Amino acid sequence: GAGVSQSPSNKVTEKGKDVELRCDPISGHTALYWYRQRLGQGLEFLIYFQGNSAPDKSGLPSDRFSAERTGESVSTLTIQRTQQEDSAVYLCASSRRSGGVYNEQFFGPGTRLTVL
Amino acid sequence: GIQVEQSPPDLILQEGANSTLRCNFSDSVNNLQWFHQNPWGQLINLFYIPSGTKQNGRLSATTVATERYSLLYISSSQTTDSGVYFCAADSNSGYALNFGKGTSLLVTP
């Protein structure tokens, strides 16, 4: 079946502009996660959605970052008034619930964001 | 949240050699995964292994949950094994993964 997909694959924007990044999770996966990977570093958690529960936004670095999810499908991460330090690869992952617990996460190919 | 530490940070191997990568974590885990990030940045799932031992071809992994560590074994390494290997864990079901800083592996011909 199809994996996690993300769009666009690359985005170049000017400082101060807003950007929207999209994630389509694997069908049937009720949990969706956003991570950020700066050059040469590990992944840092941004936000996750778990079924119908309120999202955990504890990883968002500033109020310029927000995310929405439509039901149990597509999610959009929005960065307002982009700054150069926002340049990174933004990765989305999803997982499904089985036997009352969430299992392994599967990652999309990421969106490489460059802020000039 | 749970802390994840990986060692070694860098590793250079000659093709055909074996290696062991280690992941220590600071709390009991619900989920522990090993990933390979290829040169194009894609994270490839290697193992979902909160406990026990699994094998997949030349790769195998063991997690000893009671002692809070996991090991990834690569046997008969190939140049295509090059890349960064990440260990990641969470301590509660459905929570976000906490990633280690990775082991950067280079396999030379």
**Mind listing the pLDDT tens digit for each residue in A44-71?**
999 999 877 888 898 999 999 999 998 8
Give the right CATH number for B4-108 from 3.20.20.80, 2.60.120.10, 2.60.40.10, 3.10.310.30.
2.60.40.10
Q: Which residues of A touch B41 (CB under 8 A)?
A: 37, 89, 109-110, 112
**Mind listing the pLDDT tens digit for each residue in A78-113?**
999 999 999 999 999 999 877 777 789 999 999 999
Q: Is the Cβ–Cβ distance between A116 and B55 less than 8 Å?
A: no
Instruction: Report how many domains make up chain A.
Output: 1
Residues in A 48-107 with any Cβ partner in B closer than 8 A: 48, 50, 56, 59, 89, 91, 93, 95, 97, 100-107
3-state secondary structure labels for all residues of B14-64: ECCCCEEEEEEECCCCCEEEEEEECCCCCEEEEEECCCEEEEECCEEEEEE
**Mind listing the pLDDT tens digit for each residue in B74-93?**
999 999 999 999 999 988 76
Question: Is residue A41 domain-resident?
Answer: yes
